[in-house]
Amino acid sequence: MSNFETIIYEKKDSLAYVTLNRPHALNAYNIKMRDELYTVLGAIKDDPEVRVGIFQGAGGRAFCAGADLAEFLTAPSPVVARQARWERDIWGLFLNITKPLIAALHGYVLGSGIEIALCCDIRLASEDAQFGLPEPGLGIIPAAGGSQTLPRVIGGAKALEILLSGRWLGAEEARNLKLVNRLVPRKELMAEAERLAQKIAQFDPVAVSRAKQAIIRGLDLNLREGLELEARLVASLL
């Protein structure tokens, strides 16, 4: 699990650390990263020792500056480049992990960068974080779940404004919109993410997983269905 090119995957006690590791390209998401992330997500999902995952970006400048534009430019068209990303249902896998995932965000969080963050459950950001969805300017739309996950987090009107206008958000606006849970000084970002992860990891993993499912799956249900889901999850714990 250690000989990846674009990702660093580490396990410490019951925490898994995923570092997007292409700092020379602001951790842009390429096909190699897609494949490696797929492997790593499978490991987080299936490894009983892992209780919480933490995602971060390598280097001082970015969590992830979106899809790798160099790959886009060598593909026959942005649409073809995007199609390659559908060959694996990485976002389906990401969103189906029932263990808590924390994103520690700094610098540029663009395109797939926001979308990866939105596949996580709790987002912490440093004050230098900047968020944007440049896809429509490139003739494409978000395809890593962002068109569905963003409005579920910040509401449809704001998601539309951000996506359609291409306007970037600073950290404070992102916090005010609840795109991120909390702002943390840059040098304390990972320590804070770790503290939170350790706290969660102390709890019974089955209860934690059911609690996550109750909230995440419940968001797509009406109240009656949501209460039924909760009852089933409670029963499964007894």
Query: In 3D, which of 208, 27, 42, 177 has the Cα closest to residue 104?
Result: 27
Q: Could you tell me which stretch among 22-30, 45-53, 208-216, 230-238 binds ligand COA (CB under 6 A)?
A: 22-30
Closest CA to 109 of 127, 95, 82: 127
Choose between 6 and 14: whose C-beta lies nearer to ligand COA: 6
Of positions 12, 70, 86, 182, contacts ligand COA by CB under 6 A: 70
Let me know: does 32 contact 70? Beta carbons within 8 Å.
no
**Do the Cβ atoms of 6 and 59 come closer than 8 Å?**
no
Contact string (CB under 6 A) for ligand COA, positions 127-166, x = contact = -------xx--x----------------------------
Query: How far apart, in whole angstroms, are the C-alpha atoms of residue 191 and residue 200?
Result: 14
3-class secondary-structure state, position 180: coil
Helix (H, G, I), strand (E, B) or coil at 95: helix
| Interacting residue with ligand COA among 1, 8, 25, 229 (CB under 6 A) | 25
Q: Helix count (H) and strand count (E) of the chain?
A: 11, 10
Q: Is 110 in the site for ligand COA (CB under 6 A)?
A: yes
Per CB under 6 A, does 216 bind ligand COA?
Answer: no
Choose, by CB under 6 A, the member of 8, 69, 75, 153 that binds ligand COA: 69
CB 166 within 8 A of CB 132: yes
Instruction: Give the nearer residue to ligand COA in terms of CB position, either 97 or 108.
Output: 108
Local structure of 163: helix, strand or coil: helix
Question: Hey, which residues are catalytic here?
Answer: 115, 135
Among 63-71, 148-156, 179-187, 218-226, which window interacts with ligand COA (CB under 6 A)? 63-71
| Residues of the shown chain interacting with ligand COA in the complex, contacts defined by CB under 6 A | 25-26, 28, 65-70, 108, 110-111, 134-135, 138
